[in-house]
Chains A and B, each alone.
Chain A
Amino acid sequence: MSAQKSILYPLVAVLVLILIPVIGVKLGLSYFFAVVVPYAAFIIFFGGILCKVINWARSPVPFRITTTCGQEKSFDWVKHNKFDNPFTNGQVAVRMALEVLCFRSLFRNLKMELRDGPKLSYGSAKWLWLGALAFHWSFFIILLRHMRFFAQPVPGFVDMLQNVDGFFELGLPQLFVTDAVIVAALTYLFLRRVVVPQLRYISLPSDYFPLFLLFGLVLSGIGMRYFFRVDIVKVKELAMSLVTLKPTVPEGIGALFYVHLFMLSVLFAYFPFSKLTHMAGVFLSPTRNLANNSRYKRHVNPWDYPVKVHTYEEYEEEFREKMKEVGLPVEKE
């Protein structure tokens, strides 16, 4: 698929997805978009991820296939790199925590260039790491901040997050730093696919679709907070009715809210079937979550079955007479 089509198709798909709730609410289907769709998306999200994880768990990983990024544990006088080549489960836990929270493997990202004729050179390339970290952490903090709509009274950590996030006290309502950072990070993550020729070549619609979906989600949320405000008391009434399993839809929430909710629902439902499953998959990466202890511990293949062997002794026992007849040497007479 050409690069233009890879961008255009998901863009059109997301624009259509934005129009669906706008038209649907006009037609009086607000119950469908406020209750049925979010519940369905939540169930698909949970069920889908569960199926994925169980499917992964059913595949045996008999041998240690750790990617080693440092010195393996060896003699006492050789310095062991504990977190890049873990030996115990505790060290694996630290390695996984660094991977999940700090994207350590992305930090090692390199770029390769041919310079001054046929000279191959490698350089550090940290921008992707920075963009990814900025995006994921902003998204996580924004998700936590949204807990103010789902709990009554609002838990204390939300208050703390809002204070830190609104630290600069810019504008009214106060600008949240994460809102600005997530837009910048998404813009970077999109532009790198468009600008860098190699990335443009390998980028598929399934790379652009989640990006556009996230843009829709984030921009509709920012729009609701800063520009085209909706009645958030009613939004919380709806959210609380959903989580107490007594769904009621208050009248007169702005259409922008339905766009936001629909984007979120699509994102949730899309999660288990796309590259976004890396959220669960990162925990089950055998190249990261295994201790590199093959030299100390025997790992037996679980699908080994008792092999029927026919030893030479038994063979000679069976054919001794015939072997003697044709003059073949035998070990026992």
Chain B
Amino acid sequence: MKIYDGRKIIPGILIAAVIFSFPFWLNFGKAAVPPKPKLPKEVKNCVEPTPFMRTSHMELLNKWRNLVVRENFRIFAAPDGKDYAMSLQNGCLKCHASKAEFCDQCHKYLDVKPYCWDCHLAPKENK
């Protein structure tokens, strides 16, 4: 089998192969470690069911932000009948005390940068 211009085409194929298999050789021999956000021990339920919180917590926080800042409305009536303070510092962070051990686990894993901390002070971490 004769290939014409092989000196140009074969390196071209190799370069394309390297580019397209980028995720494979980048992770070669590495073990994929899934994130392990540290969950609070004493409380079992969040303000909404876990599957909703896992996928859509940002929507909830955004709604809270608008209600508090624009409407001065501060109490969230959860589906389980309890009332919660719509607040990051006095609500969420009460249970999820550590940003590094909770938020950052998944957010770093997926390279999602929430803009909560543009205004809020991140909690001090004990090292």
A residues apposed to B, CB below 8 Å: 46, 49-50, 53-54, 57-61, 147-154, 158-159, 162, 169, 172-173, 229-233, 236-237, 240-241, 243-246, 252, 280, 283-284, 302
Contact = CB atoms under 8 A, between A and B. Distances in A.
Contacts of B113: 159, 162
B23 A232 contact: no
Contacts, number: 89
B27 A152 contact: yes
Given A46-B17, A152-B33, A233-B35, A57 B5 contact: yes
A151 B109 contact: no
Nearest to A238: B32
B48 interface: no
A172 to B, nearest CB: 5
Given A53-B9, A152-B27, A244-B31, 18 more contacts: A46-B17, A50-B13, A54-B3, A57-B5, A58-B1, A58-B3, A61-B4, A150-B22, A150-B23, A151-B27, A172-B59, A229-B55, A231-B51, A233-B54, A240-B27, A244-B30, A245-B24, A252-B51
A53 B62 contact: no
Nearest to A154: B111
A151 B34 contact: no
B109 to A, nearest CB: 6
B62 A172 contact: yes
B32 A233 contact: no
A149 B26 CA distance: 12
Contacts of B17: 46
B117 interface: no
Contacts of B110: 148-149, 154, 232-233, 236
Interface of B: 1-6, 9, 12-13, 16-17, 20, 22-24, 26-28, 30-35, 51, 54-56, 58-59, 62, 106, 108-113, 115
Contacts of A49: 16
Contacts of A61: 4-5
A158 B17 CA distance: 21
Contact of B55 (A58, A159, A230, A236): A230
Contacts of B2: 58
Contact of A172 (B5, B58, B109): B58
A147 B23 contact: yes
